[in-house]
Amino acid sequence: MPNYRRHLVPGGTYFFTLNLLDRRSRLLVDHIDVLRAAVRTVRARAPFHIAAWVVLPEHLHCIWTLPPDDADYSGRWHALKTLFATAMPPTEPRSAARLRKGERGIWQRRFWEHTIRDDRDYAAHMDYVHFNPVKHGLAARAADWPYSSFHRCVARGLYPEDWSMRSDDPPDPGERR
């Protein structure tokens, strides 16, 4: 089994990107209730704080903070992806390798993870998460996309309602502000 180089920080805050195997799919938004139920189940078993989340048709981005003594985000993602996949009817095409391993053909096997370094990095990734539906042409404004924590952030005073209309340039989390 491969040994991926993951940066594990107990109590760390992380940015994640997960993709469906079929990047033309709408599975995540078409079955948003199943995804939300999977998140609730995983959080009940292995808590984490959700700072931001956006679900697009075929991928998602989020920012989590784990408990102080815990760095096992991979286990949480494995459980979440498994719960979501097992709730879907097995209609997707599967490669011979996936069939041999008993895997579904819903999610890409890996995910992108980035450890948040500081407040500026956190702010850049928050902006990236919330701007993503605009970036992909799914909404004119962040406020127009229903599958996002943006609305919760507006209610908490973190963003103005018209935030994504203030700039034509999508935020780049790799750029230091």
pTM score of the predicted model: 0.89
User: Which entry of 14, 73, 147, 159 is annotated as an active-site residue?
Assistant: 147
Count of domains for the chain: 1
Residue 56's domain comprises 13-166
Task: For residue 149, give the CATH number of its domain.
Answer: 3.30.70.1290
Query: Could you tell me if residue 159 is inside a domain?
Result: yes
pLDDT in tens, 153-176: 999 999 999 997 545 555 566 554
Is 71 part of a structural domain of the chain? yes
pLDDT, tens only, 65-102: 999 999 999 999 999 999 999 999 888 888 898 888 88
The answer to whether residue 128 is catalytic is no
**Is 177 part of a structural domain of the chain?**
no
The per-residue pLDDT for range 111-149, each reduced to its tens digit, is 999 999 999 999 999 999 999 999 999 999 999 999 999
- Share in percent of the chain as helix, strand, coil (round to 5): 40, 15, 45
Q: In this structure, is residue 132 part of a structural domain?
A: yes
